Amino acid sequence: MKLLNVLLVTYSFPPAGGVGVLRAASLARYFPGDGIRLDVLTTCNASAVGTDNALLKEIPSEVRIHRTVTLDLPFGIKKRIKKLITGRDSSKGTAAAATAGKTSFLKKVLQDLLLPDPQVTWLPVLTRAAREIVRTRSIDLVLITVPPFSSLLLVEKLRAEFPHLPIVIDFRDEWLSTTIDLVSFSRSKRAQQIARSGEASAVKNATAVVAVTEAARREIRARYPQEPDGKFHLIPNGFEAARLHGRVSLAGSKAGDMDDRILVTYVGTIYGSTEPTWLIQALQSLPGEVKSRFKLRFIGHIEEPRFREALLKLGDMVELMGFMPQDEALSAIDEADYALLITHDPLNVAAKFYDYIGAGKPILATVHPGGEVRRLLEELRAGWWVDSHDVEAIRQLFIDTATGGNSRLASNQPDIAKIAQYERKILAKHYAGLLHSIAEDNHEGDLHEQAAEPARTGE
């Protein structure tokens, strides 16, 4: 196999922490073993929920990492601006009404300034750096992973300068049908227009498009019927098998720490697409003797104060532990009886889902009833699901879990063979094979094109 020189463009990369870095980090970890010489173009000051140095140590030394400065706002400031723009957590009453006029102008300016997202400030530096790396490092293929979706704007810029360069877009989240409404920085009319035109240009100029769920692949593909079907591919997210065994317990033995309560653990950010409102209502309505049986542990950033305040109203039933490095978060999953999954998204599948199935933990899920997560839960026999907006169904899910005891745990029989296919090392090998194939097809196309050109006579 010919060595393929690939440039991976990713805004977030270790030591930045959070689930957004895991796909790029796993590709960087395994691509060198699959015939790829990898360069990574990223930032040195990404806005991130935390730091995870352990992930950086896993990147092979032969991977060359290029870090540039971005003018993106710090994580905390950006979240406060987003709160202002979306109008969430605003107080009600006379005081709020009095200040509404003063903030409306600022809100309008902010929501139409940094589009399609705040990371667009990286684009000028990103473009110059990418062009230089493509030239000096003899890059055969560029792989751009999003979000942030502003990185899609790089595709058209590279295509203008390198008309024959294979460029692959990696959509970790579907954008226009889900993410822009659930968690976008701005949802203004102008933001929607820029998002649509930006994605359309990127898809047109890209050589291939990769999605992480089949539902997302179909959704993106359907928006561009003029493009060939073979342009759209699926490489799902996965779990790191090497990290799922032999870790040190986070807080000692569960028995000593939790007595006989049922420990249900959630890992990841609480934000628009994982809003816990209906879950909290269901838990508050549980009979006292059932409520006392549970301990819910939340690990990760909570984006909005109203979500934190609502969770704290559950009293000692809930424990909020904040951001943790990946290894510690996975150790927390190991300790749990059940893993908790919350999603209102019909197309995207949270990275935590794969960590849950990799750890072999039965999942209690509140999900979109017609979504991709429900399909995977049923296909992999990974747990139990109810509609994420059905308070009574969620309530009954926890009652059944409490009354079922050990027999309910024993009844969980996941499809181990199917789950094993989601190991990141296996998926990275599939991805590497896809990139080799794209580059080879592109090279053959160039040769055919050159052969078809009329010979020059010199006249």
**For 300-354, what is each residue's pLDDT tens digit?**
999 889 999 999 999 999 999 999 998 899 999 999 999 999 999 999 998 899 9
In this predicted structure, the answer to whether residue 78 has a pLDDT above a threshold of 70 is: no
Per-residue pLDDT, 255: 40
In this predicted structure, the answer to whether residue 49 has a pLDDT above a threshold of 90 is: no
- Read off the pLDDT of each residue in 149-168 and give the average, rounded to a whole number: 97
Q: Tokens 């490095």 belong to which residue?
A: 325
* Euclidean distance between CA atoms 318 and 228, whole angstroms: 50
| CB within 8 Å of 297: residues ≥ 6 apart | 263, 264, 265, 266, 318, 319, 321, 332, 336
Q: Could you tell me if 177 and 211 are in contact, meaning their C-beta atoms sit under 8 angstroms apart?
A: no
The model's pLDDT over 176-197, given as tens digits with 9 standing for 90+, comes to 988 787 666 677 788 889 999 9
Neighbours of 338 (CB within 10 A): 25
Quick one: CA dihedral 143, 158, 38, 32, positive or negative?
Answer: positive
> Which of residues 236 and 83 earns the better pLDDT score?
236
pLDDT confidence tier of residue 115, bands split at 50, 70 and 90:
confident
* Euclidean distance between CA atoms 422 and 161, whole angstroms: 37
Per-residue pLDDT, 260: 84
Per-residue pLDDT, 97: 43
| CB within 8 Å of 202: residues ≥ 6 apart | 152, 153, 155, 156, 169
pLDDT confidence tier of residue 455, bands split at 50, 70 and 90:
low
pLDDT confidence tier of residue 125, bands split at 50, 70 and 90:
very high
Helix or strand holding residue 5 (H, E): strand 4-9
From 131-140, 208-217, 237-246, the region with the lowest mean pLDDT: 237-246
| CB within 8 Å of 126: residues ≥ 6 apart | 9, 41, 68, 151, 154
Per-residue pLDDT, 256: 41
Q: Could you tell me if 216 and 236 are in contact, meaning their C-beta atoms sit under 8 angstroms apart?
A: no
- Read off the pLDDT of each residue in 56-75 and give the average, rounded to a whole number: 87
Per-residue pLDDT, 104: 58
Residue 114, classed as helix, strand or coil, is coil
Neighbouring-strand partners of residue 294:
262
From 33-37, 126-130, 208-212, 402-406, the region with the lowest mean pLDDT: 402-406
- Read off the pLDDT of each residue in 20-34 and give the average, rounded to a whole number: 95
Phi first, then psi, for residue 250 (nearest 5°) are -65, -40
> What structural domains and CATH numbers belong to the chain?
4-72+119-238+423-452 (3.40.50.2000), 75-110 (no CATH), 241-418 (3.40.50.2000)
- Read off the pLDDT of each residue in 441-455 and give the average, rounded to a whole number: 67
- HSE on the CB side for 128, CA within 13 Å? 8
Both tokens of residue 161?
């300068």
In this predicted structure, the answer to whether residue 95 has a pLDDT above a threshold of 50 is: no
Q: Tokens 């194939």 belong to which residue?
A: 437
* Euclidean distance between CA atoms 141 and 304, whole angstroms: 39
In this predicted structure, the answer to whether residue 50 has a pLDDT above a threshold of 90 is: no
Helix or strand holding residue 398 (H, E): helix 391-411
In this predicted structure, the answer to whether residue 84 has a pLDDT above a threshold of 50 is: yes
- HSE on the CB side for 263, CA within 13 Å? 21
